[in-house]
Every structure is written in C-alpha cells, then in structure tokens.
Amino acid sequence: MKKIHLSLGAIVAAGLLTIGAGCFNTTTTPTTTNQPAKTTVTNTAKTADTATTTVTFNATASNSAVESDANGQWATTATASSEYGSDSWSAEQVTKAPNVDSYGDNGYAWAPLELNKGEETLEVTFTKAVNAVGLRILESYGAGTVTLVELKDIDGNYYTAWEGTDTTSGLDYLQVPVTLTTYEVNGARITLDTTLSPEEWVEIDAVQLVGQ
C-alpha cells in the first residue's frame, strides 16, 4: 500500500493523468480527477477572451443580414436639428428596428422640417455601451446626403468615424466601419446636407451600432 501512494505522488507531480482510477482505493481517486477539472476552467476563460476581441463588421452586408447581426443594436432615443412632425417623421421614428419597407416618403422615418434647406443633424443613443466596429444608417428617401458620421463615447466626446461623399441609393444602409474603438460608444451624430437632394425629402428609417 505504501508503494502505491509513492507512485501516485510521482505521477501527479509529472502531470501525467492517464492512470486508471480502478487501480486505487477511494482515498486516492479525488486527486486524479481534480486536476483535469482545473484545466477545463482555464480553457473556457481563454475562449471567452478571444470572442471579445473578434467582433467584426461586414460593410457589404445585405439589408437582411444587417437586421440579423448578432452584434448590432438599434438606436433607442433620437433628437434632430428639426423634424417634420411630432409623431410621423419625428426623430423618434429612427429608433428601433427598420419599419420602412420600400424607398419613398414614409412617416415611419425621420424627416427634417424643410426640403433642400441645408445642414441638418440627427443624434441617437444606444442602450448598451460597446467597443464599436461600425455604424449603419438606413436611408429611406432622399438618399446620399450624409456628409459626416461621428461616434459619441460614454463621457460625451465625439470621434469622427467617416466623412465624405455618400453614394447610398435606394432603400439601403450607409455602412461605416471603424477600427475597434478603445472607448465605449453609446451614441452617434449624423450630419446631412439636404441640398444634395433638392427634389426628395431626406428621410432616415433606422440606425444600428455594431460592437461588443
């Protein structure tokens, strides 16, 4: 019996755990089963860390793929420099998931008070602050007028995510990828130039933040 105990101690110290439990009495078995359990816990933690840093942004995702993006969240509040109505076409209409089903004038989207007036801004917030990888803006009418997209961190600082020429047409998203932010984002500000669409009222249906 003494010889068996010495042998187990040497094997456990060497990290070899292939001993058949049936070789030992009930007082030695727990020693051999505890070791693999610790290894399992360590592996689980590593998997979780990897998932946190691999959130990606597909800037060419189809509209249906955008709407099922597991790392996406829709705006929960919205304000604007002006709004066409207090219910239909109000800033509130850009919150939640998209509900405009075809390109055109629709009260389920936000619209500014005036057509072809000039610069307008739309500001949104999100419930969950995330390290962001991108923002998506669903343009539903007067598409192609966004000039600047900024992300807002939890301390109220703005960061330019994109500026340039918006080539969006039809009922489609302006998709703005960013390098995974080191700051936590829970808001965005969108600047538009409505003179770029003098014939069609500019309308935005929904805004999605992507991150983790």
Q: Report the interface residues with Ca ion, using CB under 5 A.
A: 93, 99, 108, 205
Residue with smaller CB distance to Ca ion, 89 or 178: 89
The answer for residues whose C-beta is within 8 angstroms of residue 124's C-beta and 6 or more apart is: 75, 77, 78, 94, 95, 187, 188, 189, 190, 207
Residue with smaller CB distance to Ca ion, 139 or 205: 205
Residue with smaller CB distance to Ca ion, 135 or 178: 135
The answer for residues whose C-beta is within 8 angstroms of residue 33's C-beta and 6 or more apart is: 21
User: What is the closest distance, in whole angstroms, from the C-beta atom of residue 115 to Ca ion in the complex?
Assistant: 19
Taken in order 90, 203, 160, 134, the sign of the CA dihedral is: positive
Residue with smaller CB distance to Ca ion, 32 or 112: 112
| Distance from the Cα of residue 40 to its chain's centroid | 30
User: What is the closest distance, in whole angstroms, from the C-beta atom of residue 110 to Ca ion in the complex?
Assistant: 8
Residue with tokens 């962001």: 132
User: What is the closest distance, in whole angstroms, from the C-beta atom of residue 91 to Ca ion in the complex?
Assistant: 10
Residue with smaller CB distance to Ca ion, 133 or 138: 138
User: What is the closest distance, in whole angstroms, from the C-beta atom of residue 108 to Ca ion in the complex?
Assistant: 4
Eight-class DSSP state of 200? S
Gap between the Cα atoms of 146 and 102, Å rounded: 19
CA nearest neighbour of 206 among 57, 78, 58, 70: 78
User: What is the closest distance, in whole angstroms, from the C-beta atom of residue 84 to Ca ion in the complex?
Assistant: 13
Residue with smaller CB distance to Ca ion, 93 or 145: 93
- Locate 94 and state its tokens: 């850009």
User: What is the closest distance, in whole angstroms, from the C-beta atom of residue 70 to Ca ion in the complex?
Assistant: 21
CA nearest neighbour of 122 among 99, 153, 152: 152
